[in-house]
Chains A and B, each alone.
Chain A
């Protein structure tokens, strides 16, 4: 990055329509095995801007969404009124830095779910319900989001099939997960409306600065889906960061979150379906946890954090058994 500093400055000036751009500070931000983020202070003809350059990490494993796709998602979300860093410009061809990147405004704060649940901000559940409703105003088809593919006919059954296919390739049988998947199959609700699902909307991915929500993060799992999938993921007991009595992500009451969502979206939420989608969210996290552990076990990525992720699975399996012991109408 340092050796491309002048080229980047020239490109930034051109994008901003400024005569000159001086990069007065350039620091790599911590975290991100897949993406690399750089904080920049840029002086555009005397006007200072705090920006972030987001690009691929050198050893970044290939994931479903590249930077150009992520830029398109940020643009769609920003235009829909979602609190995300404002996306400004992109270089999808990678001519300036040698790899694709985009530039967004820098937001302040930290994303730490365990801290948020210790002293929940007043009104946070309602605020996040409204944020999610705004994300869900983005609906298919969208030419700018064509990379998200075709929406599934039935989101719930599509996920059941995906999770089973993954388990079939795993070395060990998982009878408890099979038990849960059978329940999720038998009790799958009819297909709901299709919206942009964030797919990792949870307390740990909310950037907060003081009492202010400054950004909804981590869009790399986004896809077309049932609106209740995001609600179930947010509210699932496993994402309450230990504050299980607070049913909305450990930071508030589920009903406050859902009511605010309804008020903003104008679309009623069928409360009877929430236990189903919380069970689905718990199942999905169990599958993802096994996938992460697999990267350590057989993916050549020796890593303690990945290794330990396997050991949250029994915790999730306890929840899954409790949620799927009986059928909803039994």
Chain B
């Protein structure tokens, strides 16, 4: 139904034009605001490009952890949050490493969309 280019391409292309042509021509008083606009467009473009893949991967990791069939990531994350708070994955727990691996992977996926520079800094450890 939709003709190409769609959201990911449109956003990246618009951000590129904004960065290359508009940003340098703006008066200095508007630079901060303009950089925020650009940052928002970049984040939206990266989210659109990634699509649902990071969410599906997170859901699958948690389904494996819990042996659960639910499709709802929010439910799984709520359960994980509650279990962490209750101490279920404290040192000594058998699933502790799997939980940490999940948290690492989810955080890297979020950072890849929201703040990829942080990921570059952190890359050596990941």
Task: Report how many residues on chain B are interfacial, defined by Cβ distance under 8 Å.
Answer: 35
Q: In the complex, what residues of B have CB within 8 A of residue A313's CB? A: 110, 114
A307 touches B103 (CB 8 A): no
B81 touches A178 (CB 8 A): yes
Name the segment of B2-10, B11-19, B34-42 touching the other chain.
B34-42
Q: In the complex, what residues of B have CB within 8 A of residue A186's CB? A: 87, 90
Shortest Cβ gap from B59 to chain A (Å): 13
Q: In the complex, what residues of B have CB within 8 A of residue A310's CB? A: 114
A317 touches B107 (CB 8 A): yes
Q: In the complex, what residues of B have CB within 8 A of residue A304's CB? A: 33, 36-37, 40
Asked whether B104 is an interface residue with its Cβ less than 8 Å from the other chain, the reply is yes
* A178-B85, A330-B91 known; A315 vs B111 contact (CB < 8 Å): yes
Write out, one digit per residue, whether chain B residues 85-126 have a CB within 8 A of any chain A CB (1) or not (0). Answer: 101011100000001100110111011011100110110010
CB contact list, B40-56 vs A, under 8 A: 40, 43
- DSSP majority for the A interface? helix
- Chain B residue with the shortest CB-CB distance to A171: B74
B81 touches A182 (CB 8 A): no
Asked whether B23 is an interface residue with its Cβ less than 8 Å from the other chain, the reply is no
Q: Report the separation of the CA atoms of residues A176 and B122 in the bound assembly, to the nearest whole angstrom.
A: 16
A172 touches B74 (CB 8 A): yes
A314 touches B74 (CB 8 A): no
Partner of A308, one of B40, B85, B110, B118: B40
B118 touches A173 (CB 8 A): no
Partner of B107, one of A173, A181, A318: A318
Residues of chain B touching chain A, judged by Cβ–Cβ distance below 8 Å, are 33, 36-37, 39-40, 43, 74, 77-78, 80-82, 84-85, 87, 89-91, 99-100, 103-104, 106-108, 110-111, 113-115, 118-119, 121-122, 125
Please give 20 more A-B residue pairs, beta carbons under 8 A apart, in addition to A307-B40, A321-B107: A172-B77, A173-B81, A175-B77, A175-B80, A175-B103, A175-B106, A178-B85, A182-B85, A182-B87, A182-B90, A308-B40, A310-B114, A314-B107, A315-B115, A317-B111, A318-B118, A318-B122, A321-B104, A325-B100, A327-B91
